Structure 1
Amino acid sequence: MPLKERLIGDPAAEIRVQTFLKGEPITTLAKGRVYVVVFWPIWCDPCKAAIPHFTALQDRYPEVSIIGVAVDWTDLGKIVAFVRDHGDAIGYRNAADLPSSPDERLGAMNRTWCQAAYNIAIPTAFIFDREGRTAWVGHPWKCDGPLAAVVEGRWDLAAAREKQEAVLQRDKVREL
């Protein structure tokens, strides 16, 4: 069964992680709050390098909920140890999205968020506006400007969607 496409301007998919490893669990995106959800595996060096960046963003924007979602791994114990060993260096929520069976490679959030947004690169960050709509999707190192614009209420959602649609058409992403 094909996934429901989720693009800029669309509401967030359901949060369906196996468990929260750090911070208060979030099960839905509340209206009136900005969220950043970052998908990363523990073996990814650029993902590890982004940890201080997201900790700094969480400090800079305490009104924003940042959630790291560990993906592409099947051993919860190793993820728990990684998060525990990094302690306060990870200054934002973290959760694990593991496959529900040994036959699957991806967890539910990886499928219904990343794959549904045609973004399979890691790390990947999503920014959600105060209405719970996807405002931006991309590499975490490029999220500072969009995040500031979303927080300040000056993000042009329609223009971002138009730009995304143009890329999808130009690169024939849907056909592939």
Structure 2
Amino acid sequence: MELRMGSPAPPIKVENWLRGEPVTNFKPGKVYLVEFWATWCGPCVTAMPHLVELQEKHADSGFEIIGVAAGERAATADEARTKVDAWLTEKFSNLNYRIAFDYTGEMNKLWMDPSSSIGIPTSFVVDRDGHIAFIGHPAELDDVLPKVLNGSWRSSYEAKAADAKRIARNQSIARERSLTRPIYAKLRPAMQDEDWTAALLAIEEGLAVMPDSFHFRQIHADLLLHKLRDIK
């Protein structure tokens, strides 16, 4: 089922709560920010001090942040959980919002995938009636959050236009990735093995499906001008 502005918020299904008390459901009358992030994600880490400020600023308005670490890179769930916990202790020992941990992929299936969200950080704002008010980048929250809190956001043209633009952009990215994924599956090993002929075949296959790709054109030119110049 598609998840967009106005949709009922999915449940929070996580393995552990690393910071703060567990949230079992979204309480009516409160606004929640569900923030998908990871320790390896530079923009996620950059956004965290501002999230701390937002939590402090709007706490009296019934606002709560839930950070969801659902994309940590580690061999096992235990390793990932320990890594996140240690990182939080070192970097944000006085964090003022909840942190949930999920290694199963369930949160991504419930939130990220149905909303066509591409990459992190991704912010989901849940309105006071338990419905999605906003999906996007945390950098946009300064403008959006006060309007959600005062009840003017979801009915505005600005909100509807922003959601439509987000969906179109993310669907375009998803389509592009579906086209480039098989190309890179051939190109990367060929480049690593310095098999320039195979690499050229792969990149020309890519240009056939995406002729306007600047990145593919760059690689194509480099192969012809440098890698293949001595091949007769």
Structure 1 length-normalised TM: 0.85
Task: Tell me: CA distance 1:135–1:45, structure 2 relative to 1, closer, same or farther (3 Å).
Answer: same
Partner of 1:87: 93
Q: Offset at 1:42?
A: 0.8
Partner of 1:68: 67
Provide the rounded CA distance (Å) in 2 between the counterparts of 1:170 and 1:22: 33
- Residue of 140, 143, 164 corresponding to 2:141: 143
Q: Offset at 1:120?
A: 2.1
**Which one has a larger percent helix, Structure 1 or Structure 2?**
2
- Check whether the contact 1:7–1:161 (CA below 8 A) recurs between aligned residues: no
Q: Which has the higher contact order (CA 8 A, sep 6+)?
A: 1
- Check whether the contact 2:136–2:166 (CA below 8 A) recurs between aligned residues: no
- Check whether the contact 1:54–1:91 (CA below 8 A) recurs between aligned residues: no
| Aligned residues between the structures | 165
Partner of 1:117: 115
Letter in 2 for 1:95: A
Gaps of 5+ in 2: 75-79, 176-232
Structure (1 or 2) with the larger CA radius of gyration:
2
Provide the rounded CA distance (Å) in 2 between the counterparts of 1:139 and 1:11: 20
Spell out, residue by residue over 1:48-106, the C-alpha distance to the aligned partner (whole angstroms, 9 max, x if none): 11111000000001120101001212411101111222210x2211111212xxxxxxx
Task: Tell me: CA distance 1:35–1:44, structure 2 relative to 1, closer, same or farther (3 Å).
Answer: same
Q: CA RMSD in A?
A: 2.1
Provide the rounded CA distance (Å) in 1 between the counterparts of 2:146 and 2:110: 26
Provide the rounded CA distance (Å) in 2 between the counterparts of 1:167 and 1:138: 7
Identity of aligned residues (%): 37
- Check whether the contact 2:116–2:171 (CA below 8 A) recurs between aligned residues: no
Task: Tell me: CA distance 1:45–1:168, structure 2 relative to 1, closer, same or farther (3 Å).
Answer: closer
